[in-house]
Structures are given as C-alpha cells and as structure tokens.
Amino acid sequence: MGDKNQILSQAKSYLNQLLQRTSPQKSIDWLYQQCEKINTAGSETKLFLAFSQASRHFSKDPWILTEEEIEAADSVRKGFMPQKWNSLRAARCFLLLQAVSEENDKWLSLMDTLFETADMHEQEALYGALPLLPFPEKLTKRASEGLRTNITSVFDAVALDNPYPADHLDEKAWNQLVLKAIFLQRPLYRIIGADGRANKDLANTLVDYVHERWSAGREVFPELWRFVGPYLDDDAVSLFKKVLKSGTELEKQAAGLALRANGSSAALSLLEPYPEIKAALDLGGINWSSIGKEYYKKGTV
C-alpha cells in the first residue's frame, strides 16, 4: 500500500488539484483560509466548523474525472476510486487530512467526535477518507459501524469503490459487508478486492440464501455466483447446474465466469454441456463489471 507518510502527502496534493479544477476560485480561497486556521490554531473547533461549513462553498453534484485523474488516484493509494465523489466530499476530506498526523494517533479522538456529530453527507466524506488515513488498523471498528447503517449512501461510502474493507476488515465484518450489500441491493461489482477475500463461510451462507430465494420463487443477483464459485461442494455444484440449465442469459454468464475463475477440473466440467456459454466467455468482454452494469441497467433492482 505504500508508506503512510507518502500516501497522506500525495492525497493532499491530489485532492487539491481536483478541487482547483472543479470548484470556483472563491471556494478554493475559503478552503485555504480554513486549512491555515486548522494548521496554526491547534484547535479542533476550527476543523469542526470548517467541516460543517464546507457545504456552503462546494457542490454536491457528481463530478467527472478524466482518465488521467482516475489513474493518478490509483497511484496515490492502490484501489482509491474517488470517481463517485463530488467536490464537497473531496473538500471535507482535504480538511480532515490537514488535522491528521502520521507521527501519532491523537487525532483518532477527533475522528470519533466528527463521526458522532456528522450528518449523512459528512459521514460519507469520513468513510470515504478511510483508505487515505494513517493507522488504518485502528479504524476497523468505525468502518464496521458504518456497515450497519441503513442509509444507502453512507453504506456505499464504506463498502463500494473503497479499498479499506478488503485490506483491513476481519472475515466476519467482511462477510457482513457482502451480505448487507445484497440485502440493500447494491452493485456487488463495485466491492473492491472481492476475489481476494473469498472464504468458505461466506460461500456457505450464500448457498443457503440461494435455496431460500429459489424456494420462495425469487431470483438472486447474478453477481452472487462470484462469491460461491471458489468453494464447490456438492450443494454448490447442484446450484450451478440448475442456473446453467435454466437461468437467464445473464445468470448463465455469471455462473460460467465464476466456474472459469475457479479453474478446477470439477468446475470446468460443469461448463462442458454448454458450449454456447463457453463461446461467449471465450469472446471476452464478459466480466463482473459488465455483468453488474447490465443487471442494473435493466432496472432489475
């Protein structure tokens, strides 16, 4: 992940450049004035006030980053994806980074106060900043709390387009993230590091979930097969056989992609009776992102 000092410094520079491009000069001037107060006054109150007042100066409208800016984000911190952010969230993150120290963790109590008093949009900024902060191992409890919310935008700030959970949450919290994303009908393809965090307990839980959904005559997310595919016991094999035989075209693609990713002879043998699915996969262009985007484009959820 890189040296934490370097991440913090590069993150400030990166956000500064984005804000200068996307915000009026008077907003930038206000931001710099607040940063100076935070850096010189040594008072938490300056940060609290600026964090709240930023909504008067920066826009909540979605921004559009260039390809170069997207690539630069990944170089700041592997997996950092601010594409779904806006100027207001970036400004709040920039303010927070002024008060953060990579030399000690005294600022963690400041984070607690911010979280306890934050409104919805402020929480989005705080959770979005997690991958940029030093001492990430001390923020896991806070991240897990964010996963328990029923406010979709706040949950998304933790769970989606954020490398922090895959890097730092324990298995129980990680599994809760995936299951909650399914419950809230969130786009699973935007969970970063999903394949690296595959585990048997999650796969078993999802197998039970599929049985329940199908018994009730309900469908399941095509993306769900990604989390079941790495662990093919007899029960999972029976589910894959059923979806390959009678699922929708998108479900068949997802099942095929999961089995091919598994790569074992047992997994690949399940695809043998379906040359059309194998051919579609061979053509390329089918991945978890394409499957997820197609599913949501159809307005299924």
Task: Give the end-to-end CA distance of the chain in Å, rounded to a whole number.
Answer: 35
CA quadruple 144, 175, 169, 80: dihedral, nearest 10: -90
Do residues 165 and 193 make contact, with C-beta atoms less than 8 angstroms apart? yes
> Mind listing the pLDDT tens digit for each residue in 99-114?
998 888 889 999 999 9
**Residue 259, domain member (yes or no):** yes
Of 139, 161, 184, the domain-final residue:
139
Do residues 293 and 222 make contact, with C-beta atoms less than 8 angstroms apart? no
The answer on 58 and 133 residing in a single domain is: yes
Distances (CA, A) of 174 to 94, 102, 136, 275: 27, 26, 15, 35
41 — pLDDT class (breaks 50, 70, 90): low
The answer on 25 and 99 residing in a single domain is: yes
Of 118, 139, 160, the domain-final residue:
139
162 vs 220: CA distance, rounded Å: 24
**Residue 151, domain member (yes or no):** no
**Residue 191, domain member (yes or no):** no
**Residue 174, domain member (yes or no):** no
The answer on 132 and 228 residing in a single domain is: no
Domain that holds residue 22: 4-139
167 — pLDDT class (breaks 50, 70, 90): very high
The answer on 125 and 9 residing in a single domain is: yes
**Residue 44, domain member (yes or no):** yes
The answer on 93 and 17 residing in a single domain is: yes
The answer on 84 and 16 residing in a single domain is: yes
Cα–Cα nearest to 31, from 81, 114, 87: 87
Residue carrying structure tokens 């594409």 = 83
Residues facing 86 on adjacent strands: 62
The answer on 203 and 87 residing in a single domain is: no
Cα–Cα nearest to 223, from 193, 201, 190: 190
**Residue 169, domain member (yes or no):** no
Mean pLDDT across 71-100: 96
301 — pLDDT class (breaks 50, 70, 90): very low
Question: What is the number of structural domains in the chain?
Answer: 2
Confidence (pLDDT) at 297: 84
2 — pLDDT class (breaks 50, 70, 90): very low
The answer on 111 and 230 residing in a single domain is: no
User: CA 176: distance to chain centroid?
Assistant: 14
201 vs 219: CA distance, rounded Å: 22
**Residue 183, domain member (yes or no):** no
> Mind listing the pLDDT tens digit for each residue in 182-197?
999 999 999 999 999 9
**Residue 206, domain member (yes or no):** yes
Helices (H), the chain: 4-22, 25-41, 44-53, 67-76, 87-99, 108-117, 120-128, 140-147, 152-159, 164-168, 171-183, 200-215, 225-228, 234-246, 249-262, 265-271, 275-282, 288-297
Of 139, 155, 189, the domain-final residue:
139
Mean pLDDT for the chain?
94
The answer on 211 and 125 residing in a single domain is: no
300 vs 229: CA distance, rounded Å: 23
pTM confidence score = 0.93
The answer on 204 and 134 residing in a single domain is: no
> Mind listing the pLDDT tens digit for each residue in 240-293?
999 999 999 999 999 999 999 999 999 999 999 999 999 999 998 899 999 999
183 vs 177: CA distance, rounded Å: 10
